[in-house]
Amino acid sequence: MLDQIKFYQTGSNTIGNRLLNPSMRAIQASADRPNGLISGHRACQGCGEALGARYAIDAAMRATGGKIVVANATGCLEVFSTPYPESAWQLPWIHSLFGNSAAVGSGIAAAMKVRAEKNGDAVAPRVIAQGGDGGTTDIGFGPLSGMFERNDDVLYLCYDNEAYMNTGVQRSSATPPSARTATTQLVGEHPGADWGKGKDVPMIAMAHGIPYVATATVADLRDLEEKVTKAMSFHGARYIQILTPCPLGWGCASGVTVTVARMAMETGFFPVYEAEYGKITSVRKIRQKQPVINYLKLQRRYAHLTGKKADPNVLARLQALCDTNIKNFGLLGDDEPQLTPAAIQAYERSNKV
Amino acid sequence: MMKKPFATTLDPATSLANHTGSWRTLRPINVFKLPPCNKQCPAGENIQQWLYYAAEGDYEHAWRILTEENPFPACMGRVCYHTCEGKCNRGFLDESVGINSVERFLGDYALEHNLAFKRPVRETGKKVLIVGAGPAGLSAAYHLRRFGHTVHIVEMGKEAGGMMRYGIPVYRLPRNVLDAEIKRLTDMGITLECGRKVEDIEAEKKNGKYDAVVLGVGAGISTNVDIPQGDTNHILHALSVLGDIETSGDVQIARRVAVYGGGNTAVDVARSLRRLGAEPIIVYRRNRDKMPANEEEMDAAIQEGIQVKWLSTIAGAQKDTLKIEKMALDETGYPQPTGEFEELPADAVVLAIGQNVDKSALEKLKDLKMQKDAVEVDPQDMQTSIPGIFAAGDMATSDRTVTHAIGMGKTAARGVNAYLKGAKYEKPAKHEDALFEDMHPWYYTDAPKTVRPELELARRTNTFDEVQHGLTEENAIFEARRCLSCGNCMECDNCYGVCPDSAVIKLGPGKGYEFNYDYCKGCGVCAQECPCGHIKMVPEKI
Amino acid sequence: MLQVRLHGRGGQGVVTAAEMLSLAAFLEGHFAQAFPSFGSERTGAPVVAYARIDDKEIRTHEPILEPDVVLVQDRTLLSVIDVFSGISPNGYAIINSADPAEQVVPELCKKLPKGHVLTVPATQFAMEKLKKPLPGAPMLSSLAAATDVFKLESVQKSFQTRYPGKVGDANAETAALAYNYLKEVIKGGANA
Amino acid sequence: MLNQIEGSLGVAKAVALCRPGVVCAYPISPQTHIVENVGKFVKEGTLKQCDFINVESEFSAMSVSIGSSAGGVRTYTATASQGLLFMAEGVYNASGLGLPIVMTVASRAIGSPINIWNDHTDSLSQRDSGWLQLFCESNQDAVDTHIMAFKIAEEVGLPVMVCMDGFVLTHAFERLDIPSQEEVDKFLPEYQPREFLDPKEPISMGAMVDPDAFTEVRFLQERKMVKALSVIERVTKEYRELTGHHSGGLLDCYNCDNATDLKLIIMGSTVGTAKDEIDRLKKEGINVGIISLKSFRPFPYEALKQAIGNTKQVICVERAFSFGARGIICPEVKRAMEGTNCEIHTALCGLGGRAIYGSTINGIVKQALAGKFTEEFTWFDINSNVLNSYLKDTEGVTFPQGPITDSQLQNSCK
């Protein structure tokens, strides 16, 4: 009887749910979850990256029985998790440099394979390389692409908070247009980050034809866990970009980290999907469509767009960006997306005002 | 063991030495808010909590929680006007939770499984007399018995039940259900004496060596109204009609019967007469909006073909016609005569314009203070102006519903219990209200297409009355699971999951969560993402 | 120590020839060294390679300025650079050409002892057996014929070691053709 | 076993004998032949249980090496010149992490102007990177030093750069005695990492260290460097006993015993050329010693002081210099000889592939003995004609033929 019932009524969108069979609950709901990243780390209050990292790493640990090794790029995550003399990690972990975590991951993967071969182990530990958007889409992009094209057995996790937060919120190639950063300030005729710049790394990853590419956010844990679990079922290069809001950098209250990420999904601002071997295989549909302003107004980095002096043209462009995502990825309705979407920057660049 | 270099290589989880709780300026705490359903329930049922267990399929546990407040779930599930549902926060999302139907399911489940109340563990030796075995008296008896007191009820009628038996038609409350729930009380050791009216309360108390008395006399006398009439037209009283139906099972008054009044009794009478082959027409002086009768009951009456003459008063009755004066509502909503008249064919009139308590016994109590139609009581403990004598039900209120009576009976019992200990009962302070704004509705709204018909079904079963069947288990559990758990934890694990610092401790099934203040930085994500509004951020003392 | 300088153009196997020269010497128990002129030259550009043979460890790594032998794999270089620069007064020069030495390098013939300036139609022999203009093997066997620094067989073996199978064998045959040809010349035969 | 092979192939064979688990390759001349050959060994199966990874840059080559070494396998890579600079961030990182990576640097000049030929600018630019830097004077020395390098690196817990002159050695085809697999296995046991990334014993490597402990971390790292001096000597001794090859060591003296007037300090392949010239000079009655400096990092101050002894004059034949300062080796030698009367000079030569001939060495010796090295730093093999053709027109400055001293350069700017 209990199992025949759908559970959404009491919130299957929640992390656990006492009514569900434990095997159907999120890994994060488990009292003995791995806690790959444990308490005592020095992340800011409400840090989305700390949350996203624990979500993803725990899922990977579950999927592999704890046989995971992590290479971490320089950045907030590294700094707040391993300041001497305290590490918040509960798994083998290494930090080398800012731009090389994908390559370090490749090296570890090779080492794990060779060691397993030498020791006669049937299964070698799996490898995760991870970094923020700066370490991934900018400085670490070459090694990332190299890891992809070699199809090294590494899952790369990009914790995307859309700027260089560790150095004090500077623009990265993942910073959205019009957003304030320390290097794209809210001054002049066109405040915030320039339009028609930036890159879509999930799309670029797909263009490598690697086995698995996905986007996810900290606002949909089950989706995120499923994706990491699925990623671990593939061998070869895999990439997941996880939207992890930064309260400090985005200028939002520390408590709304998850809410603002949810808003990024529900507006279509951040399309959530997955792709196998270069083709999109599923899209996370918007549940409650929201206008982009509802996303923007939670964040002071868009303060110039939410006040009385907001430029309606810029708002319209941001809404158009969301609408384009919704259309291209089929984020609404039941239709599967028909075409492989192009990077969102392409639409913006081709529509220069 | 590996040879680790100094400082650059660290041991796992050594960060636990860093107590980040010191960063906190706000502290999350669990708050238990009062769900609107609980707040609304006249019987003070902890609806949210019993739905919690019903949702798990632990019906007995749910029933036990429910009956801590109200011993008549099977009856309530049928006759309660469930105003709780009108306040349900889920109503802001889609449809209110069908609380009443789940209650009925639990009541029926308990009957079906012969669930009994536990006898008190300890007998106090104190004796309490209950006058009247209506809902208030029975409720008071039940709760007093639970406290371990010896309870004796004296009932004027032939059988216990009061208005549940003599006021509510059988189509709304099958008597086997009522009997079974009353029997469960006597099985606890409550003694019941029917067919005797207590004429002298003080003497009864003294002679019976009772330590306290609860008066639970119902409003069993219909209010009269002066209608000029010819001698051939019957003018009857609603309660006597209903009483006759209950006693004899059949009453033949006439074909065309005007039922005069707009309350629930009017509707009950009309619907009862309809079932006996008559063509009742309700005559009411105001319009539908101002009608005090329960909306669902009224809907059912109209569905059953009962006509209503709105904005009308009966100015006179002839042999087979009534003289009706049309009324108009003034700006305060009060009906004013218009001077326009018309005729309405009717063979009889049943007056259902109000009921009164039989005050004959009360008048002998010298020091008893009265207020208009009711005994003056302290609302905290239902004690009358005479120490040791308490009152509940119709005689102590203007809210004359079964549910109110049960609630008052409970309060009176608590009042008595305190009194017997030489204290004075005071209702505990209520938690702050659980408002819809406190909730995080995103987590609840995900009805996939396949589930939508089920939702509709659940809503429909919610409107079932006794002619229809109760909820199936599947529907009941479905409804129970629609509860938002306003202001109270439903163990969704959100706080545990969304904490970036792993500073929420999961205590295990049924035990909820604890904050680990050693590490909690006070970010507030847990409070923001709690679907129930169960977490509040409060300033840290600095 | 015998120091050899090899001149040719990129793509003619000059560096390989130097290496094979050292290998031939090695196979006969000598110490030997070969190295190119370390350029980033492309096909067709002048290329220089060096080789040394000795009976003790060769320690020096300087380029050879005063060669004992100069091997010129491409006579067109003669007008481009001074291939015989620094050649030992008692040195040898072997030029890949079907024309007689006196005609090709009359000045040099006067400078060096008689019989020390020789020509050999190495490319011709290579085309005959290898079907490719790779004159390395016949040039080395010519050196063997002229100086007896190592045997024809060692030249053949070096190529067969580097290129096991048909290519090595064809090089070996080409080497033999040149060796026999030059021995005839040295004996004062028909081609002298 | 004796082979007549290219130096790069010899090194590749030596590396393969050490049974690395991961070898990373990114092409840059003149290193490329080494990894090409290792790749071939892996592909043909002669080097088993080894992953050969073609990466997209030197930065990744070093990064992959960091990963694999931290992952607990013996790791090798090779680079040169621009490549070494491109990976520089990783070079420092590897030593900080204490990873015993062995890397060949086929030494080459650094642009601009781009120049593919040999000098020591690349390797010496990384002298402060925390790597051991071992220079090779011949291909046999290179083969042997690579084998020793793994053992030294793993015992010390630091990475080792084996520096061999690009082209001059890497592309030279010479007689090489390659040890057998049995000999190498005996000498170099299977790799036992002191710490590595293992789910069975999770550790966090590469922590952020603040001012509270950073100095101490550096001190301990420097201690490893200092310990390395004795490790190099011990490992060299072991290796020499096993193979009979006279390779490795902190430094190597040639004809030093009676050469109290002059000794030359040289790194790399020039040593061989110089030895031949010294032998010729000896026949002229000129006695000059050569100190082949093998270990530049750690710098063997003590051993060098002993080797120099009471020599009156020392010339450092240097193939790189420090802009705005002077030589790189010379100041180190001065430190070693502090408090003595030894005169120490730099003869800068052989930049960007300019050949150092026996005659160059001869010139240095003759000038030195004639007391012509009056200053610390001299541009020895500079061609004034080339310089003057430019400077005369632009600044009206000309230089006389022959070496140019530091003061001449300075005066020309006044």
What is the percent of chain A with per-residue pLDDT over 70, rounded to a whole number? Answer: 92
Give me the pLDDT at residue A120, please: 95
Give me the pLDDT at residue A339, please: 60
Closest Cα in chain B to A7: B481
Please check the confidence at residue C10 and state whether its pLDDT lies above 70.
Answer: yes
What is the percent of chain A with per-residue pLDDT over 90, rounded to a whole number? Answer: 84
Please classify residue A334 by burial: count the beta carbons closer than 10 Å to its beta carbon, then call 0-12 exposed, 13-18 middle and 19+ buried. Answer: exposed
Q: Which residue has better confidence, B91 or C40?
A: B91
Give me the pLDDT at residue B453, please: 45
Arithmetic mean of pLDDT, D171-187: 97
- Report pLDDT digits (tens) over D346-405: 999 999 999 999 999 999 999 999 999 999 999 999 999 999 999 999 999 999 999 999
- Which residues make beta-bridge pairs with C34? C51, D173
**Helices (DSSP H) in B249-287: which residue ranges?**
264-275
Q: Do C31 and D175 touch (CB under 8 A)?
A: yes
Q: Which residue has better confidence, D284 or B451?
A: D284
What is the percent of chain D with per-residue pLDDT over 70, rounded to a whole number? Answer: 100
Return the CATH fold of D2-243: Rossmann fold (3.40.50)
Q: What is the full DSSP assignment across chain C?
A: -EEEEEEEETTS-HHHHHHHHHHHHHHTT-EEEEEE------TTSEEEEEEEEESS--------SS-SEEEES-GGGGGTS-TTTT--TT-EEEEE-SS-HHHH-HHHHHHSPTTSEEEE-HHHHHHHHTSS---HHHHHHHHHHHH-SS-HHHHHHHHHHHSTTHHHHHHHHHHHHHHHHHHHHHTT-TT-
Closest CA to D131 of D61, D215, D62, D210: D62
Handedness of CA B380, B386, B387, B391 (dihedral sign): negative
Q: Who among B4, B7, B12 is closest to D195 (CB)?
A: B4
What CATH number does domain D252-381 carry, 3.40.50.1980, 3.90.180.10, 3.40.50.920, 3.30.429.10?
3.40.50.920
Residues of A in Cβ contact (< 8 Å) with D66 = 94, 96, 100, 104, 107
Q: Who among A4, A26, A288 is closest to B497 (CB)?
A: A26
Arithmetic mean of pLDDT, B27-33: 95
Please check the confidence at residue B397 and state whether its pLDDT lies above 80.
Answer: no
Give me the pLDDT at residue A10, please: 52
Give me the pLDDT at residue B172, please: 84
- Report pLDDT digits (tens) over A67-121: 999 999 999 999 999 999 999 999 999 999 999 999 999 999 999 999 999 999 9
Residue C59 at interface with chain D, using a CB cutoff of 8 Å: yes
Please check the confidence at residue A326 and state whether its pLDDT lies above 60.
Answer: yes
**CATH number at B17-32+490-539:** 3.30.70.20
Q: Do C38 and D169 touch (CB under 8 A)?
A: no
Handedness of CA D38, D43, D47, D52 (dihedral sign): positive
**Touch between chain A and chain C: 3 or more Cβ pairs under 8 Å:** no
Q: Do C34 and D169 touch (CB under 8 A)?
A: no
Residue B8 at interface with chain D, using a CB cutoff of 8 Å: yes
Q: How far is C49 from chain D (nearest CA, A)?
A: 10
Give me the pLDDT at residue A245, please: 98
The Cα–Cα gap between B421 and B424 comes to 8
- Which residues make beta-bridge pairs with D173? C34, D6
The token pair that represents B75 in the structure block? 């009856």
Give me the pLDDT at residue A340, please: 63
Residues of D in Cβ contact (< 8 Å) with B7 = 207, 209, 213, 216-217
Give me the pLDDT at residue A152, please: 97
Let me know if the fold of B127-167+187-220+357-420 is the same as that of B226-354: yes
Three-state DSSP state, D166: coil
Residue B2 at interface with chain D, using a CB cutoff of 8 Å: yes
The Cα–Cα gap between A287 and D357 comes to 79
The Cα–Cα gap between C58 and B7 comes to 50
Q: How far is D222 from chain A (nearest CA, A)?
A: 20
Please check the confidence at residue B454 and state whether its pLDDT lies above 60.
Answer: no
Give me the pLDDT at residue B76, please: 93
Residue C23 at interface with chain D, using a CB cutoff of 8 Å: yes
Closest Cα in chain B to D220: B6
Return the CATH fold of B36-115+439-481: Fumarate Reductase Iron-sulfur Protein; Chain B, domain 2 (1.10.1060)
- CATH class, B226-354 region: alpha beta
> Whole-angstrom distance between the N-terminal and C-terminal Cα of chain A?
59
- Report pLDDT digits (tens) over B179-235: 999 999 999 999 999 999 998 999 999 999 999 999 998 888 877 777 877 665 678
What does the buried/exposed string (b/e) look like for C85-110 if buried means 16 or more CB atoms within 10 Å of the residue's CB?
eebeeebbbbbbbeebbeebbeebbe
Please check the confidence at residue D121 and state whether its pLDDT lies above 60.
Answer: yes
Look at the block and give the residue holding tokens 């001349």. D29
Assess contact for D106 and D31: CB atoms under 8 A.
Answer: yes
Give me the pLDDT at residue B449, please: 37
Assess contact for C167 and C136: CB atoms under 8 A.
Answer: no
Domains of chain C, CATH where assigned: 2-186 (3.40.920.10)
- Report pLDDT digits (tens) over D220-237: 999 999 999 999 999 999
- Tell me what the pLDDT averaged over chain B comes to: 88
Please check the confidence at residue D53 and state whether its pLDDT lies above 70.
Answer: yes
- Report pLDDT digits (tens) over D235-282: 999 999 999 999 999 999 999 998 999 999 999 999 999 999 999 999
Residue of A68, A74, A81, A108 best to disrupt the D interface, most CBs of D under 10 A: A108
Arithmetic mean of pLDDT, B489-517: 94
This complex has an ipTM of 0.91
Residues of B in Cβ contact (< 8 Å) with A8 = 444, 446-448, 451
CA angle B334, B337, B342 (to 5 degrees): 130
The token pair that represents A301 in the structure block? 């980095």
pTM: 0.91
Q: Do D195 and B5 touch (CB under 8 A)?
A: yes
Q: Do D96 and B9 touch (CB under 8 A)?
A: no
Q: How far is A131 from chain D (nearest CA, A)?
A: 15
Task: For residue A85, say if its preceding peptide bond is cis, omega within 30 degrees of 0.
Answer: yes
Arithmetic mean of pLDDT, D126-146: 98
Arithmetic mean of pLDDT, C167-173: 95
Give me the pLDDT at residue C192, please: 45
Q: How far is B16 from chain D (nearest CA, A)?
A: 14
Closest Cα in chain C to D171: C35
Domains in chain A: boundaries: 33-350
Chain A: partners with 3+ C-beta pairs within 8 Å: B, D
Give me the pLDDT at residue A4, please: 45
Residue of D58, D66, D99, D197 best to disrupt the A interface, most CBs of A under 10 A: D197
Q: How far is A99 from chain D (nearest CA, A)?
A: 9
Give me the pLDDT at residue B457, please: 46
Please check the confidence at residue B447 and state whether its pLDDT lies above 50.
Answer: no
The Cα–Cα gap between A338 and B402 comes to 62
Domains in chain D: boundaries: 2-243, 252-381
What CATH number does domain A33-350 carry, 2.40.50.90, 3.40.50.970, 3.40.630.40, 3.40.220.10?
3.40.50.970
Please check the confidence at residue B341 and state whether its pLDDT lies above 60.
Answer: yes
Q: Do A39 and B445 touch (CB under 8 A)?
A: no
Q: How far is B20 from chain A (nearest CA, A)?
A: 6
Q: Who among A118, A143, A146 is closest to D49 (CB)?
A: A118
The Cα–Cα gap between A87 and B9 comes to 9
- Tell me what the pLDDT averaged over chain D comes to: 97
Closest Cα in chain B to D210: B7
Distance of CA B5 to the CA centre of its chain: 70
Arithmetic mean of pLDDT, A17-27: 83
Q: Do C61 and D269 touch (CB under 8 A)?
A: yes
Domains in chain B: boundaries: 17-32+490-539, 36-115+439-481, 127-167+187-220+357-420, 226-354
Q: Which residue has better confidence, A308 or B526?
A: B526
Give me the pLDDT at residue C28, please: 96
Q: How far is B13 from chain D (nearest CA, A)?
A: 9
Please check the confidence at residue D94 and state whether its pLDDT lies above 60.
Answer: yes
Residue D222 at interface with chain B, using a CB cutoff of 8 Å: no
Arithmetic mean of pLDDT, B361-377: 85
Arithmetic mean of pLDDT, C40-67: 90
Closest Cα in chain D to B2: D195
Cβ-Cβ pairs closer than 8 A, A with D, add up to 177
Three-state DSSP state, A41: coil
Arithmetic mean of pLDDT, D311-335: 98
Neighbours of A190 (CB within 10 A): 14
Residues of B in Cβ contact (< 8 Å) with A88 = 13, 15
Arithmetic mean of pLDDT, C134-150: 95
Q: Do A107 and D59 touch (CB under 8 A)?
A: no
Q: Do D205 and B8 touch (CB under 8 A)?
A: yes
Residue C17 at interface with chain D, using a CB cutoff of 8 Å: no
Phi, psi dihedrals of residue C177, rounded to the nearest 5°? -60, -50
Give me the pLDDT at residue B459, please: 42
